Structure 1
Amino acid sequence: MATTNPPGTSTTQNPISLRSILFWIMIVAIAAFSLGPILWQFLTSVKVNKDIIAVPNVYFPTQYTLDHYAELFARRPFWVYMLNSAFVAIVSTLLCLGLGAPAAYALARLKLKGEQIILALVLVVTLFPYILLFLGLLEVVQFFGLANTYLALIIPYTAINLPLTILVLRSFFEQLPKDLEDSAKIDGYNTVQMLWQIVLPMTLPALVTTGILAFIFAWNEFIFALTFITRESMKTIPVAAVQLGGATALEIPYGAMAAATVLGTVPLVLIVLFFQRKIVQGLTAGAVKG
């Protein structure tokens, strides 16, 4: 005799497989590994000093305080440091996009002699460790008298990020149909108008993605900012955070340094969250065709 299952019941069972368990374990482990240092810095920034120096470690504060954040602005002009970082990062990012977009468009659309050689050179420069340029840039900064000026940071940041900007934008320009550009030429657009009014709006996700990468690099860069800028009123956040001093020569202000790290990270997080949709579009564009 055939049996029937009650309504609403399923005839098949879906037991949890070992693969799915391992998959979620890996996800949790990667998330903990990535977010652990950030969470530790945040918790340190709101701990009282006795919890920070306690042995064994106190992982979660017994008392919460915002004194370390207040100390940043009371003892040092931290707003000035944030404005310096923002100015240098924004200007260098805009220069990267302003110079990189036309160059990428030319490499994508024009048939240039030695195009492959140019692309190979751009790729080599992209892969070249920028720290090896330090001594050469130091000589250039001293020769032109750029020390303690914003140009001492803006020019190197732009030059370092420009090759990557060109490579990324070139790949996006190559994916655009040329029929749109041909139609624009028939309608009377010149090259500059076509690039500004038609091509660039269609590659906005790529512009946002490369722009954020350039901005993050300029915001977080430390070695050049430490060496080329010695004037207190022109320092950037990474340098200011490292050079925070305690009340005495032997005191290390772990709480204030953690607070400075958190404040230096918040703008980057907000930018990524604000442009999240564009970033995802920029990273996935061209992955599926058809």
Structure 2
Amino acid sequence: MLTRLQERLESTARYLWLALLLVFVLTPFLVTLLASLTPDKAIVSQPARWFTSGFNIDNYIYILTGKLPAQYEVEAGQRTMSMVSQEIRFLPTAMLHSVIVAFLVMIFDLLLAAPAAYALVKMRIGGKGIVLNFILGTRLIPLVAVAIPYYELMQMFRLTNTLTSLVIMYVGLTLPFVILILCVAFRQIDRSIEEAAQVDGLNPLQILVRIVVPVAAPSIVGAGLFAFMLSYCEFLFGLLLATNQSVRTMPVTMASVSVNPDVSLGLTCAGIILGVLPALIVIVPVWRYMIRGLAEGSSK
């Protein structure tokens, strides 16, 4: 009886803790979403009138189409909207740049990381432990410490203000993580499956493509999506290497909007919601494929 009561109390405490954690994580996003749908006057009034002024999607329409919300047309003589308007209107293009760069980084990461992880885990190579430690150790260096040398390197090859420079940099930043994830996934694959494939006459490349990749597909997809998220949200090198508005990425564009002295809170929040949507869409498959894949890879 006492044991059962103790188990119920522990279960209740666990769910309460998860509920508090969920509230802590979701509250900023929900407040931002609410602010993006609420007129600025209602937000900044004392007290704030969150639910009494109605909701509208004018901020989203303006960002996507350029149609100025009615509240700003009325206030045009009292506040300067041109600077905010021009910057926030670049957000859809900046999001497209971020998606393109992140997608290319994901593809290149998987093409490079899968053979590297297979060689490090399954093949007899001298010093592969040192190689793996070196690859992972490169990510221990603070990015700020290498930002200027990398910038000068890209400038020397005349790649600044191009999406190519961002793809190169982000592949270098995310590749160690992808290799580590795939090493863990490939290590869980039963060795007897590969030995049977070798008996059938398959070479290492064929084993990787026809045996290892299908078995570890969940982890591979999850690792690729993880690289996508890291690349999509990266700010420092996006700021250094893409100073021209024509190649700016989403984080850099949103940063320029947020520091504007006349920034509209509603427009800024709407831009934040639009900017994080691709990352939010990716979160579910990352959890599903990578976490479950690491646990189920060997059984498959």
Task: Answer whether TM exceeds 0.5 for this pair.
Answer: yes
Deviation at 1:110, TM superposition (A): 1.7
**Alignment length (residue pairs):** 276
Residues 99, 61 of structure 1: CA spacing in aligned structure 2 closer, same or farther, 3 A cutoff? farther
Report the 3-state secondary structure (helix = DSSP H, G, I; strand = E; otherwise coil) of the residue aligned with 2:257.
coil
Deviation at 1:238, TM superposition (A): 1.2
Residues 14, 170 of structure 1: CA spacing in aligned structure 2 closer, same or farther, 3 A cutoff? closer
* 1:161 lines up with 2:161 in the alignment: no
How does 1:97-246 map onto structure 2 within 5 Å?
A: 97-244=110-257
Gaps of 5+ in 1: 1-10
Q: Distance in 2 between matches of 1:61 and 1:136?
A: 53
Residues 195, 41 of structure 1: CA spacing in aligned structure 2 closer, same or farther, 3 A cutoff? same
* 1:22 lines up with 2:13 in the alignment: yes
Deviation at 1:119, TM superposition (A): 2.2
Which aligned segments of 4 or more residues in structure 1 are displaced greater than 6 angstroms?
A: 11-14
Report the 3-state secondary structure (helix = DSSP H, G, I; strand = E; otherwise coil) of the residue aligned with 1:163.
helix
Residues 176, 284 of structure 1: CA spacing in aligned structure 2 closer, same or farther, 3 A cutoff? closer
Judge conservation of contact 1:91–1:154 (CA < 8 Å) in 2. Answer: yes
Which amino acid is the alignment partner of residue 270 of structure 1? I
Q: Name the one with the larger helix percent.
A: 2
Q: Distance in 1 between matches of 2:290 and 2:52?
A: 36
Q: Distance in 2 between matches of 1:175 and 1:12?
A: 41
Q: Partner of 2:281 in structure 1?
A: 270
Judge conservation of contact 2:223–2:286 (CA < 8 Å) in 1. Answer: no
Let me know the Cα RMSD of the aligned residues.
Answer: 2.6
Which amino acid is the alignment partner of residue 241 of structure 2? F
Report the 3-state secondary structure (helix = DSSP H, G, I; strand = E; otherwise coil) of the residue aligned with 1:72.
helix
Deviation at 1:39, TM superposition (A): 0.8
Which is worse superposed, 31-40 or 226-235?
Answer: 226-235
- Once the two structures are aligned, what percentage of the paired residues are identical? 30
* 1:55 lines up with 2:46 in the alignment: yes
* 1:35 lines up with 2:35 in the alignment: no
Deviation at 1:276, TM superposition (A): 4.8
Deviation at 1:169, TM superposition (A): 0.8
Which amino acid is the alignment partner of residue 15 of structure 2? W
Judge conservation of contact 1:72–1:260 (CA < 8 Å) in 2. Answer: yes
